Structure 1
Amino acid sequence: MSYSVGQVAAFAGVTVRTLHHYDKTGLLSPTGRSHAGYRRYGDADLVRLQQILFYRGLGFSLDETATLLDGPQAKVLAQLRSRQQELRAEIARLQRLDEATERAIEVQQTGVSLRPEERAEVFGEVAFDLSYATEAQVKWEHSDAHRQAMARASAHTKEDWRRLMGEAAAWRAELLAAFDDGEPGDGDRAMGLAEEHRQHLTRWFTPCPPDVHRRIADDFAADPRAFALVVPQSGQRPGLAAYLCEAIHANARRSGGSRTESEEDR
């Protein structure tokens, strides 16, 4: 069975012009012609074309491909091994670039410019969910406060993060103790912890007025990924996120923070 140049081009995903060029250079000349003089490709031609496309896909030039197709087997094997080593080196280079890009993305999304091993050392169980970080970045992309918070976070040193996380751990222990002791969410102890959290955000990231703190609290109650940034999974209790949200709202009312119309409608 034989095929026209158009059929072969469609089979192989190449252009007719490419097949004409292969014929002109002698790389792939069809074995047949129609009565009208048109090129006709047989099964053996298709096998050779498949080999050509394979070698071209590996990055070999047309001249190198011709040598591989028509040269001795030992030389073909040597060239393939050489190309394999080049590809492995390139894969390793691209892997390093991928890792660097991933780290750059994480820095942009989370504001944390620590190396992965430093993250594990400093943050422990507290994990940044990149899907949440991305959504937050989109949600607050026009917020000057968010941009300021990200800028300050990215400027923190490893020692800054140690101190920050130490404060957060001590605060978290007090929060869990108040919750386990049955302290009311709108009581003085819980509201005091809410105020400490607000001051912590102001100290390390950006000024956090009561209305902004309310919105953060609502995220804690609505999205487990947000709450996991303050209380990792191992320390969570049923109802704890809602408890913290209640405490923050109560503290905002005590501080005189007014609720906006959009917040009233939620």
Structure 2
Amino acid sequence: MEGLPDADGLTVGQVSAHLGVTVRALHHWDGIGLARPSLRTHAGYRLYTAADLERLHRIVVYREIGLGLDRIRTVLDDPTADVPGALRAQRDRIAERIERLQRLGDGLDRMIEAHERGPLLTAEQQRGIFGPGWDPEWPAQARRSYGDTAQWLQYAERSAARGPEEWRDVADAVAGLDRALGDAMDAGVRPGSPEAERLVERHREVFASYFPLTRRMQVCLGRRYEADPAFAAHYDGIRTGLAAWFRRIVDASARAHGIDPDTATWE
């Protein structure tokens, strides 16, 4: 007990300061009979002896490593107690907790990195998964534009849980949807038809790989797909006029669900 006096007669306040435990804890241990001061003054105040401090020191150490008070009482007072066994068991529990905390820390590191840069993939992996036309700078540009939104946070959380194979599945789902949209337009699928409605629902399901997409948000995306040159070039590269056709089927679906596409906002 380095730094503790070896004389008898310390008050509860002095012991609290020396051991770094609260007066309330000392009173509690006294009340349950775990560590009682052995001396009493003429005025009735209770004082701790050097032997009391030794016991308290052991209680503090055992509590610090995670033993409960009942287990501490057994270790201190039961002459038949297997103290090394109890300490080994506690050490094993602490090791398990450290491992869990390490996994949690690793997960937090991935989430932080995903929040800062999107997919946790190298530039080469991104091009291999999303195609040669993919620009690895796009996620960084998106973060600068949308990094303070709830949708970016949702996107980052999903990104943190994905490796190359999971992202390949996402890319395959997007590519499959693009093909289905192009084929449907070629087949003359009309906005508002059951076939068009299924494609609109499929788009929302596929997009949920990034973040949940409401119908109003989908209307906003449809407008952007048609108006933004980069998005329009992507869809019109699949089929000429596909961006405008996709907006029409989304708008028709929105009206069927009671949403005015002309006034829909990102919500």
Question: What TM-score do you get using the length of structure 1 for normalisation?
Answer: 0.49
Select the structure that is richer in helix. Answer: 1
